[in-house]
A and B are shown apart, each in its own frame.
Chain A
């Protein structure tokens, strides 16, 4: 009897209850929210604890810790190490370089940039992939041929190399498409680059699903009722793609954040004075011998964010489609190579 009662719930309620039973995924979802709260709290920390901005330099300043005065940057150019709460929260993680910027404040603001780029490019990629997948899968014929061919070519490119090429080309000159004008230093440049090169990873599988769904009876029924192409695509087919889209969205954000970090690390992503976790590693790596945390902490933040998104994405897949896990295992030999290889 109890089983029957459970089955009467809708598929979304069922999926939700399955997800809520997945302790590991829940824990990592909580971790992800913690990270989001952490970066959102950046202005609070900057104004009330550190009393400085992310790009403010403190090269020649001294720090009063109890009775002791400490130099933020030594004459040799070495930044101060983590102070934790000794200086009232100032330079909690020390200073970032010979410029003497507050590492903790930069970590929080840099995280905002990284997460913003990851989530916004994830949203744009998802929307683009849905539209391209629906158009190609619904109209088939030459529309499909063109879209599929273009996606195939982009998919076969070495992503990082072309990301660098486009990123640096745009960073030098900016981007002008009609009335839309983006300057070279804007964070919309890396967002644009990431979207261009990650769309195929989502659009290709969606197109495949649409091609299969299009043959189903419910589409035939909709056609018989006189539904137009837009209604069939968005009201009939799209809801059936929801679970795939949700899973891909979470994994896509993780992938995009790694992509952004790699581009920024190499200097072809977020441009100074903006910072992201990727650019912070570039700066911190110079002082690896004396201040290892400067490179390791932003790297760890990237790892935690990406790991939590990957695990939540996997949990969502298990919850939304319990059979998919079995399917994946069975076809693992056919698994496509890892998205961005970073």
Chain B
């Protein structure tokens, strides 16, 4: 297990390096106008462009430029230019909102996805099964920017069940925090509920054909015990990997759009605000931190996977 973890962490560091190089390429090397001009944004004054040019050393060799960029991002020197604010502090301020949104959504989609998947595997071909097939196809196609306006219009404006938009910190008013986040949570979760229930269902149908399930039945275990102890547990293992990838992708993807739609002042809204002002430094910061977070989560998931399924780590160390 220790060997597996070390190998995985080394792999993670390599990917982190690759990711940071891509960010560097996107912002500093992309062949077009003067990079300082680009960083200053569409409304950058000549003085600003000149000072950025000196600060970032765009005349230096590419490796030196790369080191300068990384130093700026991780020592908190990266600032937005209108108004001048340190990017890392701005991001840190908004992380709780983004995490509340993503973690809450993840809990909801896991709970309902697994519950419905379990129920439809008990009766494959039943009505629940067929409904969920439809839901998962629709879920892949419904974009958040259709679902959210519909939910907001009917549930917030017409029926006035939920408060409109915004984010209330959990530490200030837990109940308000909860009611403000219900709609955003479901907007993210609905798409995954159908998908996860389908995956769990087909995993379970696979596992039900395994010899050890027949053995468990043969030794007289009750059907319920067979399903929960043997079938469900073994079917959950692949879900761990899937969940890790999706959770990372949610934070660095769907959450951005959902935050904007529901006015949740999180990291995604911060990025969207920067986009509307054509300001690059905040986007550089968000991209780099976001990508690092995703890579880190993926590594954690792989380690958890290896812990749950010995075949993975044995296979890896035997190589």
**Residues of A that sit less than 8 Å from B by CB:** 153, 156-162, 164-166, 168-177, 254, 258, 261-262, 265-268, 278, 281, 284-285, 288-289, 292, 295-296, 299-300, 302-303, 306-307, 310-311, 314, 329-330, 332-335, 337-338, 340-342
Contacts and interface: CB of A to CB of B under 8 A. Distances in A.
Contacts of B260: 265-266
Contacts of A159: 249, 253
Given A168-B275, A292-B153, A337-B242, A157 B140 contact: no
Majority-rule SS of A interface residues: helix
**How many residues of B sit at the interface, in one of the four size bands?**
35 or more
A296 B22 contact: no
Interface string B214-243: 000000000000000000000100110010
Given A153-B15, A296-B150, A337-B249, A172 B291 contact: no
A289 B149 CA distance: 9
Contacts of A153: 15, 18-19, 22
6 contacts: A156-B294, A162-B287, A266-B257, A292-B153, A299-B150, A333-B206
Interface of B: 15, 18-19, 22-23, 26-27, 30-35, 37-38, 41-42, 137-138, 140-146, 149-150, 152-153, 157, 195, 198-199, 202-203, 205-206, 235, 238-239, 242, 245-246, 248-254, 256-257, 260-261, 271-272, 275-276, 278, 280, 283-284, 286-287, 290-291, 294-295, 298
Contact of A266 (B31, B195, B238, B256): B256
Contacts of B248: 158
B249 to A, nearest CB: 4
Contacts of B252: 158, 160-161
A1 B226 CA distance: 48
A297 to B, nearest CB: 10
B244 to A, nearest CB: 9
Most central of A311, A330, A332 by chain B CB within 10 Å? A332
A171 to B, nearest CB: 7
Contacts of A289: 153, 157
A302 B146 contact: yes
B306 to A, nearest CB: 17
A333 B23 contact: no
Given A266-B256, A288-B157, A333-B203, A162 B22 contact: yes
